[in-house]
Structures are given as C-alpha cells and as structure tokens.
Structure 1
Amino acid sequence: MEAAVVVPLLLFAWIAFISLISVARAHERIQQSLTDSALALAIEAGRNEESVQSSWMVKVWAGLSALEDMETGGVQSVSGYNFSGSQVLAGDSWICLEATYQIKPMEGLIPLPGIRLKSRACTRAWTGYVPGEEERYGESGHSYVYVAENGQVYHEDRMCSHIKLSIHITDREHALTYPPCERCVGNDIWQGETFYLTETGECYHSRLGCSGLKRTIKRVESDEASISGLVPCQRCTGK
C-alpha cells in the first residue's frame, strides 16, 4: 500500500526535477544567444550605427530562432518574447539586450505552469573613443567644441544628452501618452506594438531610423563657434 503511494510521488518528483534542469538549460542557451547577438551588434556598430539601430531586433530574433531544437527534452515550449527593456546605442554607445519570455516544462503526471524568465546582455559598441585632453584640444592646441547640424548652441561634452540621445523602447499604452512625431508618424496612429522615446523627448516615434532620433554632430574650433554666433549649452557647459 505504501509503495503504491510512494512510487508515484517519487516518479513525479523525478520528472519535475528533470523538467527544471531542462528549463535552466534553455534559459542558459537563450542568455548565450543574447550575448552573442550583443557582441555581433557591437562590432557592426563600428561600421554602420544606423544599420544596427534599424535592424537589431531582426538579428536578435534570428539568433533565438536557431534555438528551436531546445523545445525538446523536458521543455515543451518557449514563447512570449518581449524585448521592450532593450536599449541599443543608448548613452555612451551601449547595447543592452533584454528579453523576457515564458518556458513551459514538458507535461508529466501533473501539468506544470509556465515559468517567466528574463535574460540580459550588455556591451559597448565598438565605435571607438579615446578620452583625454586630445579630445577637446587637438594636436594644434586649439580648443574644440561640438555642434549639431542646424544647431544654435555648442557643446563642450560630446556625450551631452542634448546631442547624444538615449533611446528607449516602449509599448503602445505608454507611447500614446505623448504626441506623435510629425516626421515618422504624422497624423496617423501607428498600428504597431513597438514605439521609441528619448529621455528628454516630447513625442513618440514609430521608426528607429526617424531623423528625429538622430543627431549629426561635427567638431569645430571654439573660436569658430563663437564667431558663428553659437551660444554655449547650459547643460554641459554650465554657462
């Protein structure tokens, strides 16, 4: 009588244990895929940042799709991918890929619920940056500042948030609390599920390649900036 009760319980415990190991293995492989994708995007950003900004999700999804064979051996399915926490070329050219998803273990004697997990991989884009005095003072000893295309102010810090935008992905509900970008959305409400906002922006965007999310920056001598009538940025110069 006792064996009739104990054996099924032990069998169930063993199946549950194997399923959890399979879930951990699937989670590890997804983490590795995100890490590989982040490194590949970091290298590509050194050649073409615009390409990375417009197609990073396609490349990440392609890497995850190659893991379809992991949906066997203790794992029934992996679904519900959400990349809304990702940031690409944000801040100091960082690529942070974040994916949340649900892994459903293989059903045994008692159905096991899906497990919601998160994986994250961050790396800095290989765009090149040499800090130090030479950035602001060239070999000639002249002082340099940074000016955005059609800008009316100059910046002493190339990472000033006025010219180095931090772009975030958001969902429809949050995006629609802002007015639409006149350039990429216009008067039509974007029907997609992915939207883009900047930390200091006043509108939402439907395309990562929108010109409203880009800044063309040039370095000029500070004397030239003053002669041109440009005024200092209050945020990074404190003037």
Structure 2
Amino acid sequence: MISQTERVRIKGWNGYQQGSYIEKQGYVYITETGTVYHKSYQCTHLKLAIRAGNVSDVADLRNEYQGKYYPCEKCKAKSASGMIYYTVSGDRYHASLGCSGLKRNIRAVKLSEVGGRGACSRCGR
C-alpha cells in the first residue's frame, strides 16, 4: 500500500493586476462608504492589517504615525470589554471584527464617476 498526500494552496483572484487595463484607462478605486477615491488598489487605507488586543491596553497603543486610538462610533467600542481590534494605520479601535469600519468593499470606477469624493491623502497625490 502506498500512502500519498496532495496539498494545494490557492489564492482567489480579485480582478486586480498591477499595470492592468483598468489602471491605464483612468480608473480609480472607491469603497461603499468612503469619502475619498484611491489611485492605487494597494493603498494602505484599502488593505487593512487588523490586529487584536485587550481593551485595557488601548491607552498605550499607538498607530504607525504615533497617534492614539479612539473608540469606533459604529460598533460602540467605547463600551467594549475584553478583546478589541485595530489597524496599524488607523485611529479607531473596534469591539467586533464584523464592524463596518473594518470592512472594505472596493470597486473600480472611472475618475469622472467619483462624485464629490476627494483624492486619498496617501495615494491620490
């Protein structure tokens, strides 16, 4: 009897390719509830690195810009007890991983269709 193991590692394709047709044709990226547009799909405002911590440590936590974290108004993080969630580049902490403040539904749209959104301070220069 021969024993055999097969392993596969797959990453889902999200439709993004650097230098793709979309980037060349004046498209930008927006989120459902965002107030800015992004020139880069790789912008750190879009690609969140979520970390977990204890609410008792939040006063000592600092983001990558040495800024403090404040409670998220959407998930009522002010009343959180136990575990909290935050991003390296953000300024809010969250009571739940399911908070809409931690979600990014990204769409590619033409720059002429962004409405009243301004350019992202990181990638929109």
TM-score (normalizing by structure 2): 0.68
Q: Which amino acid aligns with 1:127?
A: G
- Distance in 2 between the 1:167 and 1:127 partners? 20
Greater relative CO (CA pairs within 8 A, separation 6+): 2
Displacement of 1:187 in angstroms is 4.5
Flag the structure with larger Rg. Answer: 1
Q: Which amino acid aligns with 1:159?
A: Q
TM-score (normalizing by structure 1): 0.39
Picking from 193, 204, 213, the partner of 2:102 is: 213
Displacement of 1:135 in angstroms is 5.1
Picking from 168, 182, 187, the partner of 2:51 is: 168
- Distance in 1 between the 2:36 and 2:85 partners? 25
Displacement of 1:207 in angstroms is 1.1
Displacement of 1:166 in angstroms is 1.6
8 Å contact 1:181–1:203 — kept in the other structure?
yes
1:179 matches 2:70:
yes
- Distance in 2 between the 1:132 and 1:210 partners? 29
Q: 1:131 corresponds to which residue?
A: 17
Picking from 158, 180, 196, the partner of 2:85 is: 196
Q: 1:110 corresponds to which residue?
A: none
Which runs of 5 or more structure 1 residues have no equivalent in the other structure? 1-35, 44-125
- Distance in 1 between the 2:121 and 2:78 partners? 33
- Distance in 1 between the 2:19 and 2:45 partners? 22
Displacement of 1:237 in angstroms is 2.7
- Distance in 1 between the 2:70 and 2:119 partners? 29
Q: 1:102 corresponds to which residue?
A: none
- Distance in 1 between the 2:72 and 2:36 partners? 23
The alignment's C-alpha RMSD in Å is 2.8
Displacement of 1:235 in angstroms is 0.9
Q: Which amino acid aligns with 2:116?
A: G
* Percentage identity across paired residues of the two chains: 36
Q: 1:224 corresponds to which residue?
A: 113
Q: Which amino acid aligns with 1:131?
A: Q
Taking a change above 3 Å as real, the CA distance of residues 162 and 187 of structure 1, as seen in their structure-2 partners, is closer
Taking a change above 3 Å as real, the CA distance of residues 234 and 205 of structure 1, as seen in their structure-2 partners, is closer
